[in-house]
């Protein structure tokens, strides 16, 4: 099997006015959002190490209107600016973001990756809070 044989992960989310297909974000897309909205990374980094995985949801959901709109556009593979003009309720936005996090950053696998990153940071003498 090659990378080209992998099936893209997505989930249909039922909303108040219909449904939408939510697609997993690739790491480069996640970094693009974090690079544009650096407060997300700072807020995650400010969490105690043992709370980072469970705290990601709250940080992302509290990231602000522009960041949420960018995340919603990427998650639904919509043109930039689409989410800002969509008739979404607050709960619709939450449902989309939660589905995105579940398929893009599953907490069990993310926890292992973060633990491994912390181990490498310590071995290299890097402080993950810098």
Let me know if residue 87 belongs to a domain.
yes
Let me know if residue 96 belongs to a domain.
yes
Mean pLDDT in the chain?
86
State pTM to two decimals: 0.79
For 84-114, write each residue's pLDDT tens digit: 999 999 999 999 999 999 998 887 777 777 7
Let me know if residue 6 belongs to a domain.
no
Let me know if residue 14 belongs to a domain.
no
Let me know if residue 44 belongs to a domain.
yes
Domain count, the chain: 1
The pLDDT value given to residue 2: 72
For 6-57, write each residue's pLDDT tens digit: 667 899 999 998 999 999 998 889 889 989 999 998 998 898 878 888 888 8
Domain carrying residue 89: 24-122
Let me know if residue 10 belongs to a domain.
no
Half-sphere exposure in the Cβ direction for 30 (13 Å, CA):
14
Let me know if residue 118 belongs to a domain.
yes
Q: Any residues with CB less than 8 A from the CB of 104 and at least 6 apart, and which?
A: 9, 24, 25, 30
């Amino acid at each position: 099997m090659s990378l080209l044989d992998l099936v893209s992960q997505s989930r249909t989310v039922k909303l108040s006015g219909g449904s939408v297909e939510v697609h997993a974000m690739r790491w480069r897309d996640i970094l693009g959002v974090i690079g544009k909205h650096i407060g997300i990374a700072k807020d995650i980094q400010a969490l105690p190490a043992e709370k980072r995985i469970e705290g990601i949801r709250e940080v992302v959901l509290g990231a602000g209107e522009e960041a949420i709109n960018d995340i919603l556009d990427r998650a639904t593979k919509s043109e930039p600016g689409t989410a800002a003009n969509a008739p979404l309720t607050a709960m619709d936005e939450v449902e989309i973001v939660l589905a995105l996090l579940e398929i893009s950053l599953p907490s069990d696998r993310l926890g292992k990756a973060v633990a491994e990153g912390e181990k490498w940071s310590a071995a290299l003498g890097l402080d993950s809070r810098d």
